[in-house]
Amino acid sequence: MIVVRRAKESDAEAAIDVVRRSITELCAADHHDDASTLANWLANKTSKDFLAWLANADNFCVVAESDGRLLGVGVVNRKGEILLFYLAPGAQRQGIGRKIHTALEEQANRWGLASLHLDSTALACRFYEALGYRPTGPAALRFGVLQTFPHAKPLQPSHYTGGCLCGAVRIEINAAPHRVGICHCLDCRKRQGAIFHTFAVFPANAVTVTGETREYKTRSFCPTCGSPLFDRFGEEFELHIGCLDAPNLFTPAYEVWMIRREAWLPPFDVAHHYERDRTTKARSDS
Q: Which is nearer to Zn ion, 30 or 231 (CB)?
A: 231
Q: Of 20-28, 132-140, 161-169, 198-206, which segment contacts Zn ion by CB under 5 A?
A: 161-169
Q: Which of 43, 52, 123, 166 binds Zn ion (CB under 5 A)?
A: 166
Q: Of 105-113, 133-141, 167-175, 238-246, which segment contacts Zn ion by CB under 5 A?
A: 167-175
Q: Any contact of residue 164 with Zn ion (CB under 5 A)?
A: yes
Q: Any contact of residue 229 with Zn ion (CB under 5 A)?
A: no
User: Residue 138: CB partners within 8 Å, gap ≥ 6?
Assistant: none
Q: Of 4-12, 31-39, 181-189, 230-238, which segment contacts Zn ion by CB under 5 A?
A: 181-189
Q: Which is nearer to Zn ion, 41 or 202 (CB)?
A: 202
DSSP code at position 127: H
Q: Which is nearer to Zn ion, 130 or 166 (CB)?
A: 166
Q: Which of 114, 225, 265, 282 binds Zn ion (CB under 5 A)?
A: 225
Q: Any contact of residue 192 with Zn ion (CB under 5 A)?
A: no
CB of 189 to Zn ion, least distance (A): 8
Residues in binding contact with Zn ion, number by CB under 5 A: 9
Q: Any contact of residue 209 with Zn ion (CB under 5 A)?
A: no
Q: Left, alpha or beta for 131 (phi > 0: left; psi -120 to 50: alpha)? A: alpha
Are 204 and 232 in contact, with CB atoms under 8 Å apart?
Answer: yes
Q: Any contact of residue 258 with Zn ion (CB under 5 A)?
A: no
CB of 164 to Zn ion, least distance (A): 3
Single-letter residue type at 162: G
Q: Any contact of residue 224 with Zn ion (CB under 5 A)?
A: yes
d(C-alpha 213, C-alpha 226), whole Å: 10
Are 199 and 181 in contact, with CB atoms under 8 Å apart?
Answer: yes
Q: Left, alpha or beta for 107 (phi > 0: left; psi -120 to 50: alpha)? A: alpha
Q: Any contact of residue 259 with Zn ion (CB under 5 A)?
A: no
Q: Of 19-27, 186-194, 244-252, 275-283, which segment contacts Zn ion by CB under 5 A?
A: 186-194
Q: Which alpha helices (DSSP H) does 44-147 contain, by range?
A: 47-55, 96-110, 125-130
Q: Any contact of residue 168 with Zn ion (CB under 5 A)?
A: yes
Burial classification of residue 31, based on how many CB atoms lie within 10 Å of its CB (0-12 exposed, 13-18 middle, 19 or more buried): buried
> Which segments of the chain are extended strands (E)?
2-6, 59-66, 69-77, 82-87, 115-121, 134-135, 140-142, 146-154, 160-163, 170-173, 179-183, 197-203, 207-210, 214-216, 219-221, 228-233, 236-240, 254-256, 272-273
Q: Of 75-83, 92-100, 185-193, 238-246, which segment contacts Zn ion by CB under 5 A?
A: 185-193
The binding site for Zn ion (CB under 5 A) comprises 164, 166, 168, 183, 185, 188, 222, 224-225
